[in-house]
Amino acid sequence: MRTEEDMMEYVEEKADEKGYFICPDDDLLFDLIQGLVDNEGRYGYPSCPCRQASGVKLYDSDIICPCEYMDADVEEYGMCYCGLFVSQKINEDPDELKPIPERRRPEVIEAGMDAEPTEDFHSEEDIPVWRCVVCGYLAARELPPPICPICKAKAERFSRFEINPGR
Amino acid sequence: MEAIRNIHGAINEHEVKLFALSTCGWCKKTKKLLEELDIEYLCIDFDLLSDDDKKTIKEELKEFNPAISFPTIIIDQGEEVIVGFKEDRIRDVLSHED
């Protein structure tokens, strides 16, 4: 299991890869790093410290740090939901570091919270396939991706793709 | 640490309930502010609850904050609901400072 120092290194590396900066508020940064370490200890993966993970990885895959919402949030608000990754602008003006709205959809949050850790996982061929109606991108996963990685359409633009619709 | 704790404070004219996560930095800021303002409140660290309690308390939270996000402060059974660490709003609603 990673220590706080390891986690900090991991986060710095991820920020570098994206051209982002890490949280300019040292107290907040310390708490978030601690939260990531706690979550990794609990669930086996570092889920967003400011979100409730389900403990069922299939339901939490969108909120493993760095989460799937990070890019859209840094673009729109200059920071990710937790405030761990920020834009250059917020890095230079830390007073602008303020809580932002939750982009993760309530149905997705609730599905995770209601998931039973013991429930049978879908076998691989049972995992639903989602199709982006805007660009045709296909994703096999429990829930549609929050944002299409190709055309950035939102989750509600995904529909269930039936491989054998005639049956 | 207990998941649900009553935090004592000198100011207790409202019933204040904080729904938080023990891992969340913004929740920690909210707790610190409530303590600095000396407000009596019930602190619920959602992530530390048992699985059964999570189901009940999630429904309670959802009623006031459909986004089910943390921190959420529910004042006087929903007379006021503050979602997120909105420092100015928390001070306005709960403290006597001018």
Q: Chain B within 8 Å of A140 (Cβ-Cβ)?
A: no
Which residues of B fall within a CB distance of 8 Å from A82?
24-26
Which residue from B39, B46, B48, B76 is spatially nearest to B61, judged by alpha carbons? B46
CATH number listed for the domain at residues A4-114: 3.90.460.10
Which residue from A106, A105, A116 is spatially nearest to B63, judged by alpha carbons? A106
Interface confidence, given as ipTM, is: 0.92
DSSP A157: G
Residue B21 to residue A102, Cβ atoms within 8 A? no
A103/A22 Cα distance (integer angstroms): 20
Maximum mean pLDDT: which of A30-34, A132-136, A140-144, A160-164: A30-34
pLDDT in tens, A90-135: 999 999 999 999 999 898 898 888 887 655 555 556 778 889 999 9
Q: How confident is the model at residue A165 (pLDDT cuts 50, 70, 90)?
A: low
- Bridge partner residues of B17 (DSSP): B42, B74
Residue B67 to residue A106, Cβ atoms within 8 A? yes
Ordered structural domains, chain B, with CATH: 4-94 (3.40.30.10)
Tens of pLDDT along chain B (98 residues)? 899 999 999 999 999 999 999 999 999 999 999 999 999 999 999 999 998 999 999 999 999 999 999 999 999 999 999 999 999 999 999 987 65
Question: What average pLDDT is seen over chain A?
Answer: 90
Cβ atoms of A135 and A151 closer than 8 Å: yes
DSSP string, B7-53: EP-SB-SS-EEEEE-TT-HHHHHHHHHHHHTTB-EEEEEGGGS-HHH
pLDDT at position B97 is: 63
pLDDT at position A7 is: 98
Which of A36, A99, A101 has its CB closest to that of B26? Answer: A99
Tokens of A106: 């309530």
**What is the mean pLDDT of the segment spanning A39-62?**
94
Q: Chain B within 8 Å of A165 (Cβ-Cβ)?
A: no
State the smallest CA–CA distance between residue B92 and chain A in angstroms: 17
pLDDT at position A118 is: 54
Q: What percent of chain A has pLDDT over 70?
A: 91
pLDDT at position A148 is: 86
Decide yes or no: CATH 2.20.28.10 for domain A124-161: yes
